[in-house]
Structure 1
Amino acid sequence: MNTTTTTMKNMASFLLINLVLTFAISAQNESKLEIIAEMDVRPGNVAVSPSGRVFTTIHPLVNPSFQLVEITGKDTYALFPNASYQKNSQSPSSYKLDTPLGIRVDQKNRVWIIDAGLNLGATRLFAFDIETKKEVFRHDFSAEIAPKGSFVQDLAVDEENGWVYLADIGNPGIVALNLETRKERRFANETVQAEKVDMIIDGKLTNFGGAPASVAINPITLSADKETLFYGAMNGTTWYMLPTKLFREGKTNDEIDQGIKVMGPKPVSDGAATDSSGNHYFTNIQHYGIDVLTSEGDLKPFIRDARIDWPDNVALGPEGWIYMTVNQLHKTPAFTGGKDEGNPPFFIYRMKLE
């Protein structure tokens, strides 16, 4: 038997094993997927409060009338914090949300939203108190830190030390903000760039903006003790880590660069969440599911289900639940180059961590 024949047989065996594994995982987990929201508009990112309240941005790629809601039932939601912050198809305004996407809820019951301001031309960070629905923080980033072409769209909040870390996929880089002093900085090197990894969905190369999708830094998370920042490109299979003290202590870009290490592998992913045990959960947009990089360094499927049609992001909630938004994003005109091929409803699901 020649080498080519042996290689082909090994590859066929590998594909068969993975196919069987995928079906087994899907069958095992299908009944565990619970619908939290069934929506006629595309949810963007989801966040869950310590008490279990669920919030979601509405994805800006489809130019929605409203931008941020709290889920109040399986098929109901309420504008958050109120109607006055929603753009409502009007002209961009510095007093209203424009194109928010990334959202987090901290342990102080504050909802944090990063608004890329794609129509406004200004990147802004907001925080609202959940109970009072009052704006408790706002920061407008300078043009130097979030220059023209930026799309700052995900964030990680360190409420203990008073810092926020953000991912800019438009001008790839990490943006760090000291919440007390309002001092901003930007860091970039090759680790924030897209890797040479194709995005293949249903056996087809996925385009974005008329060319093969090549999306830079996207998911970004923090360790439970806030001492480590994790990040990676959407079009990438490497999950990086760096000590947050390098930002807090004002280290140079060279010192930050030297502090970066590879945490482990990741799938092509649009979102991630890190739990208190050091496990990392990634949306797997190529394979209809969620993957987990365990604290031991093993990357494996967590769930596969045909209903998970472009999982946009994940969030960890109380009592051991993981939440995910599913919005068929690759079927929007930005990806198809033509009409919207998505079919509502769109979903927010959750399932128990095991």
Structure 2
Amino acid sequence: MKTISFLCFLAALSTLRSIAAPPETSPTLNLNLEEAAVFQNQQITGVTVSKTGRLFVNFPFWSDDHTDSVLEILPDGSTRPYPDSKWNNKKGAAKSRFICVQSVYVDDEDTLWILDPASPKMEAVVPDGPKLLQVNLKTDKVTQVFRFDPSVTPEKSYLNDIRVDIVSGHAFITDSGTGALIVLDIKTGKARRLLHEHPSTKAEEGVELLVDGIKVIDPKTGKAPQIHSDGIALDKEGGWLYYHALTGRTLYRIATADLINPKLTTEELGKKVVNVATTSAPDGMLEADNGSLYLTAIESGAIVHFDPRSKETATLIEDSRIQWPDTLSLAPDGTMYITASQIHRMPQYNGGKSQQKGPYTLYRFKMNPPSPKSPEEQAAQNPDSPLPNSSTGR
């Protein structure tokens, strides 16, 4: 992936500020932001771009308007069900079709991964439904289907986002339904449910969410919905997995070497978790090549860049049209794609009546490629911090 140059963006886009305070909310329009695609009745959450520029999006089964689960957006703007119509069929066995796809992700080998938590309307997991598909983009064929049993995906779980480390051969998945990290050994197909009792994967008490003037409330509790570990980012060079509860303001990380070590006890693994920073509430996150991160800021319709070493952030873009920025994906040409999912306008947060306004939009804006900081430069910036161990380096 490309990364962003502060020298190019600070003057044009934002000034540096501490990430400790949530960004201010204001109605803004940014001329750099443009529509990449619109969908009249399909609530979009995920987007990913292949190494050759192919564009994929997904739509979870959250309403009765749902039709296709995964689409490829072709160069002429038309779409096609992906990988085929059979997988997108609404009828058939749960194990052989999409139930409720939450995210799509292209790894460093240009393989597409499709994550299906199989929980329609986020109510309950459909038996035999939770799965992860591996798709060969050269042949457009599903090469492997990894299925998750109830010990990994209990009834109220909701597999949310995914990263794949092709060097160690593991996939890392967040569960935003009950709070956990799922670690899948791609070679053996064995999945483990980790940190499911650790506070880092749980929603934080007392956090309120105000999005586009709407206070997001779960009517069952009268409080903000308890959306647990959601966004995820993989620093492959540094060997860190970053994750964040959506209903929360704390960014955590843990070494991938520790996550894939089956010898660590639950208590030992919990002690490996690092509290990185206080942030605004994000949904999706995205890693940059230099170990920094991009985070969505759902309360202000913004995308921010965060440096874990300096703890500084810069707002890359802020626009009132980005109604609940969900997922980020950076194309080879430096174009950043953003989905606007309007989750705060869903019926369950508005007295049972939808306040969603179609169409649902996939946005994009162009970023300039930077020169990644070397480990020596990073260490010079923060001499008290040791160089990271590259446990999963490429």
Smaller-chain TM-score bracket: 0.7 to 0.9
User: Deviation of residue 334 (structure 1)?
Assistant: 2.8
- C-alpha separation in 2, matches of 1:317 and 1:209: 39
Q: Which residue in 1 is equivalent to 2:279? A: 266
Residues 178 and 202, structure 2, Cα contact 8 Å, conserved in 1 = no
Secondary structure of the residue aligned to 1:259 is coil
Contact 2:231 2:284 in 1 (8 A): yes
CA distance in 2, matches of 1:260, 1:222: 15
Q: 2:270 aligns with which of 257, 264, 270?
A: 257
Asked if 1:332 corresponds to 2:346, the answer is yes
Q: Give the direction of change, closer, same or farther, for the CA distance of 1:59–1:183 in structure 2 (3 Å limit).
A: closer
Q: 2:26 & 2:110 partners in 1: Cα distance?
A: 38
Question: TM-score w.r.t. structure 2 length?
Answer: 0.79
Instruction: Give yes or no for the alignment of 1:305 onto 2:319.
Output: yes
In 1: Cα distance, 2:130 partner to 2:219 partner: 21
Q: Deviations over 1:236-285 (max 9, x none)?
A: 11111111001222222222211111222322111110111122111111
Compute the TM-score of the two structures, normalised by the length of structure 1: 0.87
Using the alignment, how far apart are the partners of 1:155 and 1:114 within structure 2? 7
- Residue 334 of structure 2 is aligned with which of 305, 313, 320? 320
User: 2:57 maps to what in 1?
Assistant: 56
The 8 Å contact of residues 34 and 349 in structure 1, kept in 2 or not, is answered as yes
Using the TM superposition, give the Cα deviation of residue 91 of structure 1 relative to its aligned residue in structure 2, in angstroms: 5.8
Where do residues 210-289 of structure 1 align in structure 2 (5 Å cutoff)? 210-211=220-221, 212=223, 213-225=225-237, 227-250=239-262, 251-289=264-302
What is the aligned partner in structure 2 of residue 147 from structure 1? 154
Greater RCO, 1 or 2 (C-alpha within 8 Å, sep 6+): 2
CA 1:248/1:93 → structure 2, altered by over 3 Å: closer, same or farther?
closer
Q: Distance in 2 between matches of 1:160 and 1:137?
A: 18
The aligned residue for residue 85 of structure 2 is 83
Counterpart secondary structure, 2:31: helix
In the other structure, the counterpart of 1:138 is 145
- CA distance in 2 between counterparts of 1:342 and 1:33 reads 21
What is the CA–CA distance in structure 1 between the aligned matches of 2:219 and 2:117, rounded to whole Å? 18
Structure 1 counterpart of 2:96: 95
Change in Cα spacing, 1:226 to 1:62, as seen in structure 2 (3 Å) is farther
C-alpha displacement of 1:219: 0.3
* Equivalent-residue separation in structure 1 for 2:213 and 2:45 (angstroms): 25
Contact 2:34/2:363 (CA < 8 Å) preserved in 1? yes
Which amino acid is 1:228 matched to? W
- SS of 1:254's equivalent in the other structure is helix
Which letter maps to 1:32? Answer: N
Tell me the residue number matched to 2:7. Answer: none
Unaligned runs of 5+ residues in structure 1 are 1-17
8 Å CA contact 1:265, 1:299 repeated in 2: no
Say whether the 8 Å CA contact 1:266–1:293 is kept in structure 2. Answer: no
Shift of 1:75: 4.8
2:36 is paired with a residue of what secondary structure?
Answer: strand
Q: Give the secondary-structure state (helix, strand or coil) at the position aligned to 1:85.
A: coil
- Does the 8 Å contact 2:26/2:320 carry over to 1? no
* Percent identical residues: 24
Match of 1:292 among 280, 301, 305: 305
Deviation of 1:47 (Å): 0.8
Structure 1 residue 198 corresponds to structure 2 residue 215: no
CA separation in 2, counterparts of 1:311 and 1:217? 16
State the Cα deviation string for residues 35-63 of structure 1 (Å, max 9, x = none): 21122222121111111111111132224
Letter in 1 for 2:71: V
Look up the SS of the partner of 2:344 in the other structure: helix
Q: Tell me how far 1:203 sits from its aligned partner.
A: 3.9
CA distance in 2, matches of 1:80, 1:348: 17
Q: Secondary structure at the match of 1:60?
A: coil
**Counterpart amino acid of 2:84?**
N
Say if 2:182 is the partner of 1:175.
yes
Structure 2, unaligned runs of 5 or more: 1-22, 121-125, 369-394
- SS of corresponding position for 1:255: helix
User: What amino acid is aligned across from residue 321 of structure 2 in structure 1?
Assistant: R
Matched residue of 1:94: which SS?
Answer: helix
Residue deviations 1:99-125 (CA, integer Å, cap 9, x gap): 011211012221101111115333111
